[in-house]
Amino acid sequence: MNAQQPAGPDVRRARVTVLANHKGGVGKTFLLMVMAAELAMRGFKILVVDLDPQGNASRRLGYAEFELENRPTIAEAVAESSPDIARQALLPCQWEPEWAERISLLPSRIELENRVSEAGVPGSWMRLEDALNPLLDDYDHVLIDTQPTLGHLLHLALVLADDVITPAVPEYDAVRGAQRLIDFVGSPKNRRSLGIHATVIGIVLNAKRANVATHEGRVEKAVEQWGDLVWQPALPLRAPLHDTQEFAEPPHTATGEAGTVIRQAAKTLVDRYLGKAA
Ligand SMILES: Nc1ncnc2c1ncn2[C@@H]1O[C@H](COP(=O)(O)OP(=O)(O)OP(=O)(O)O)[C@@H](O)[C@H]1O
Ligand SMILES: [Mg+2]
């Protein structure tokens, strides 16, 4: 059940959140892993939709590229606007059961690139919504990972989504990428002509380096620019966090101080996401 909606048999529909930034490598997939892990630990049922042809979220939830060949993925579900294919494509998360039993994956592979050239086909922008709408009742939260573009695949995600969260490294180019994404989502013309209802609810600064003046300065400027839209805390850059992604493990399992920091940060960020922030 959506934690922000009243309980009841007819109102169960997952809350759909897209992680997006026009800039690449800023931690979109990483933050998605943080959120999925934290929400699963709190008992929510999560669907991770990998809408990035790179398949990074799929790999980090346990599936190498070769394991996704010759089976349905989100690419085929979108091609046919098909809830049946989407259901066939579902895979269990391969993390430890503590997390995995509440996380499902709609995996992606390179074939998804071929959906982009179909953007001009009438109605093509509704394909993800048509494929996934019937599945939404089975989950509390759907988290969609995207590639760093403002193109057709992002459009598909925004048509389905309720919310957008924008991760950004506290550096000039990433902050500009976040602003372009915010402008794209908020543009009245885009919202009307592209059928977008989602709104940007948060900016999460990630990979912040300690004792780097430019990073400190960018965090301050981001708060000046976007105010309360910047969710605290910024996530630190730490090698053990990177290692969890390399080895396809939940960020919460990071060793040492990095683990303590990310577990606390995940709590605070997800409280904010669930509307429980102080
Ligand atoms: N806070 C962090 N500390 C250490 N490493 C991090 C952190 N956040 C992300 N990384 C690492 O930085 C790299 C980029 O992160 P990630 O893949 O999540 O970014 P992305 O925005 O999803 O990239 P893309 O645009 O290619 O999809 C990865 O190797 C990831 O493990
Ligand atoms: Mg990514």
Q: What is the pLDDT of residues 116-149, one digit of tens each?
A: 999 999 999 999 999 999 999 999 999 999 999 9
Beta bridge partners of 166: 203
The per-residue pLDDT of the chain, averaged, comes to 95
Using CA positions, which residue lies closest to atom 5 of ligand 1?
242
* Global confidence as pTM: 0.95
Domains of the chain (ranges; CATH) run: 15-277 (3.40.50.300)
For residue range 7-23, what is the model confidence (pLDDT) as tens digits?
A: 444 556 999 999 999 99
Say which ligand is closest to the CA of 206.
Answer: 1
CA dist 191 and 209 (Å) reads 36
Quote the pLDDT of residue 57: 98
Q: Rg (Cα) of the chain, in Å, rounded? A: 18
DSSP string, 216-264: HHHHHHHHHHHGGGEESSPPBP-HHHHHHHHTT--GGG--HHHHHHHHH
Say which ligand is closest to the CA of 177.
Answer: 1
| Ligand 1 pocket list (CB less than 6 A) | 24-30, 52, 54, 56, 147-148, 206-207, 235, 237-238, 241-242, 245
Quote the pLDDT of residue 276: 79
Within the chain, residue ranges assigned H as helices are 28-41, 56-60, 74-79, 83-89, 97-100, 113-116, 127-132, 152-160, 172-186, 188-194, 213-226, 239-246, 256-273
Residue 1 has pLDDT above 80, yes or no: no
For residue range 209-250, what is the model confidence (pLDDT) as tens digits?
A: 999 999 999 999 999 999 999 999 999 999 999 999 999 999
CA of 30 to the centre of ligand 1 (A): 5
For range 169-198, the mean pLDDT: 96
Quote the pLDDT of residue 247: 98
List CB contacts of 248: < 8 A, sequence separation 6 or more: 59, 60, 61, 62, 94, 95
Quote the pLDDT of residue 10: 52
CA of 214 to the centre of ligand 2 (A): 24
Strands 103-106 and 91-92 turn out to be antiparallel
Say which ligand is closest to the CA of 23.
Answer: 1
For residue range 86-125, what is the model confidence (pLDDT) as tens digits?
A: 999 999 999 999 999 999 999 999 999 999 999 999 999 9
